[in-house]
Amino acid sequence: MFGFKKWRRNRLAGRKFPDQWLEIIKRNVPIYRLLSAADQKELQRHILIFISEKGFEGCGGLKITDEIKVTIAAQACILLLHRKTEYYPGLSSILVYPRSYIARSTRHLAGGIVAEGMDVRLGESWHHGSVVLSWDDVRRSAADIHDGHNVALHEFAHQIDSSFAKGDGTPVLKSASTFIAWARILQKEYQKLQRQVSRNSVTILDKYGAVNPAEFFAVATEYFFEKPKQLHRLHSELYEELKRFYQQDPAGWKKENGRQTFAI
């Protein structure tokens, strides 16, 4: 089975990338233009495999188009560049609403109190099976590559976070020494953000990252790709760990020719 999957993926990756898809990426995913030519080609190969293996389902009356699939896939696959991947192994489908949607929420409060209600959401990631996205917010957040907010990067970072045990990890998490450094620095930065939020201090990172460690990782991922220079300047240790994790250096984009390499 594994041999067939590898053969199939190699076959998909060898196909010509459709010209129409490339136009969609150039129009809707401006971060693509910051990548080196080698990384752009690698991203195209990942997109071909991702779209072939994942199902897309329109919700709330939305009809799925190539534009929707390619725009979402391109952002999901940016997180996979330079890394051995199983293409989000816990993910089978992407559910897409035309705009923000209403979902039931359950919160566990102090004293054992459980509060239930309805939330307006731009996206969410389920541990098993699906990512849910608002198409309007996917397009809007992808268009501005310097505001630190990108709903697709955020939700697919959650998928990476939940798929470590399924073989979609990184060398950073497979070595005891590098894992310890990773955990220590992310925990320190998470606690720092919590303190800043409790004091109502100004932060570069979105305060939503203080909710829990999973949200911190997703928020940090957004800022790593969209505000890399600011993150590197103000949270250098966090930036370096994310650089090692993602095997990418967004702060150096446009300055490097060809593929970047990293020592682990």
Is-contact 87 49, C-beta < 8 A? yes
**Domain hosting residue 75, numbered range:** 1-169
| Residues 61 and 183 grouped into a single domain | no
Where is the domain boundary, 118, 142, 169?
Answer: 169
pLDDT at residue 255 in the model = 55
Bridge partner list, 43: none
Measured CA to CA in angstroms, residue 210 lies from 123, 156, 161, 188, 193 at distances of 18, 19, 16, 12, 6
pLDDT at residue 264 in the model = 41
| Residues 39 and 134 grouped into a single domain | yes
Is-contact 145 75, C-beta < 8 A? no
| Residues 205 and 163 grouped into a single domain | no
Is-contact 212 158, C-beta < 8 A? no
Q: Which pair of tokens denotes residue 53?
A: 């293996």
What amino acid is encoded at 172 in this protein?
A: V
| Residues 155 and 258 grouped into a single domain | no
Run of H or E residues at 151: helix 151-162
pLDDT at residue 235 in the model = 95
Low-confidence spans in the chain with pLDDT less than 50: 108-110, 114-115, 165, 167, 256-259, 261-264
Residues composing the chain: 264
| Residues 84 and 143 grouped into a single domain | yes
Where is the domain boundary, 152, 169, 186?
Answer: 169
pLDDT at residue 106 in the model = 56
| Residues 31 and 127 grouped into a single domain | yes
Measured CA to CA in angstroms, residue 243 lies from 50, 220, 232 at distances of 23, 11, 10
Domains identified in the chain, total number? 2
| Residues 153 and 178 grouped into a single domain | no
Where is the domain boundary, 109, 144, 169?
Answer: 169
| Residues 64 and 189 grouped into a single domain | no
| Residues 47 and 83 grouped into a single domain | yes
